[in-house]
Amino acid sequence: MFRFLVLTSFFLLSVTAYAQESYSQNENKQVSISGINAPWNATATDVLSSLEKAVQTNTAHSVPILIGSAELGFLYKSGDTNSADIKTGVDLRFEQDRWLSLLKIDLLIKKADIADEDTGDLHFRTTDQKWTIASQTNYSLGRSEKHYIYGNVWYEENDFSSFISQSSVSSGWGKHWYKTNEASLWADIGPGFKRDQFRATDTEPTTTITSWILQTQALYIRKLNNNVELKQYLSVKQAIKNGENSIYKAETALTTKLISTLQLKFTFTVNYNTDVEDDKKNLNTQTAITLVYSF
């Protein structure tokens, strides 16, 4: 039931902008990364959008209401050992008047030869599987788009972690703190609610812990040149009550434009949970290189 409510919230957040009646068809915008409309977490779509603006002139043009991208990374090894890694994801960005909705879905699957404990025979089994879905809707307070209010929903399942699932919802206020032709900085903060479903262990059954959190997010984007951008994203889901699990995340992404619709993306992600099982690590990192196709 809770998963249904979470997925429903994602859908509502992603289509909220459709309810607005007015949309500005043409705008004269300065050519720079600062032309992006206050996102909370830059996706490959955002990076592509800013790269395209770097080569446009200051002429009136129609801004696409919906843009998106899909990324894929794949590695398969055979021989003495067999293994396969797949990382894929989809990013959607919908913008209309003062409304901005973002939807991001990521999937990671790893398989490898695992020896049977009894017979020693090798079996090609899944060793890691995680999928994440996140959505946020921003509403700009005024035409300047400097201040905004937001609603955020996040859900994750990881088959090889301490948690069966983790989810959170939050809302609050944000600001476009810094903006130049080469760089921009956004940050927002607000209260929220988090749900962690802990996996059963030899001594403990499956448990679900809910807690109030204070969520803060910050995003820094810098254009290194007309074809390369750097993004740094930070997120904190701090539990209000001492002793409850808090989640910290940092993501660094470097995107290089290959052709008009294809980019190469390097991503390094750090995830930290303060409360995990004794045989699990608090800190997990992920490094990925993927091709990104925009549409």
Percent of the chain residues topping a pLDDT of 70 = 77
Q: What is the mean pLDDT of the chain?
A: 80
Q: Residues with Cβ < 8 Å from 208, sequence gap 6 or more?
A: 195, 196, 197, 198
CA–CA separation, 154 vs 9, rounded Å? 10
CA–CA separation, 62 vs 261, rounded Å? 18
Contact 269, 289 (CB under 8 A): no
Output the six-digit token pair for 96. Answer: 């209309």
- The CATH number corresponding to 2-294 among 2.60.40.180, 3.40.50.1000, 3.40.50.970, 2.40.160.40 equals 2.40.160.40
- Tell me the range of 9-18, 178-187, 231-240, 272-281 where mean pLDDT is highest: 231-240
CA–CA separation, 9 vs 135, rounded Å? 9
How is the chain split into domains, by residue range? Answer: 2-294
The model's pLDDT over 32-53, given as tens digits with 9 standing for 90+, comes to: 444 444 455 544 445 444 444 4
CA–CA separation, 124 vs 146, rounded Å? 52
Percent of the chain residues topping a pLDDT of 90 = 45
Q: Given this model, what pLDDT does residue 111 score?
A: 85
Q: Residues with Cβ < 8 Å from 69, sequence gap 6 or more?
A: 43, 44, 45, 48, 90, 91, 292, 293, 294, 295
Average pLDDT of the segment spanning 236-252: 94
Distance of CA 174 to the CA centre of its chain: 17
Output the six-digit token pair for 93. Answer: 């960005």
Quote the DSSP letter at residue 177: E
pLDDT at 27 over 70: no
Residue with the bigger pLDDT between 220 and 55: it is 220
The model's pLDDT over 141-161, given as tens digits with 9 standing for 90+, comes to: 977 768 999 999 999 998 888
The model's pLDDT over 89-138, given as tens digits with 9 standing for 90+, comes to: 999 999 888 899 999 999 999 888 787 777 777 777 777 889 999 999 99
Contact 3, 165 (CB under 8 A): yes
Residue with the bigger pLDDT between 276 and 144: it is 276
Of the candidates 67, 81, 72, 150, the one whose C-alpha atom is nearest the C-alpha of residue 115 is 81
Output the six-digit token pair for 177. Answer: 């703190």
CA–CA separation, 95 vs 164, rounded Å? 34
- Write the burial class of residue 229 (CB in 10 Å: 0-12 exposed, 13-18 middle, 19+ buried): buried
CA–CA separation, 9 vs 195, rounded Å? 15
- Write the burial class of residue 153 (CB in 10 Å: 0-12 exposed, 13-18 middle, 19+ buried): buried
Average pLDDT of the segment spanning 228-240: 95
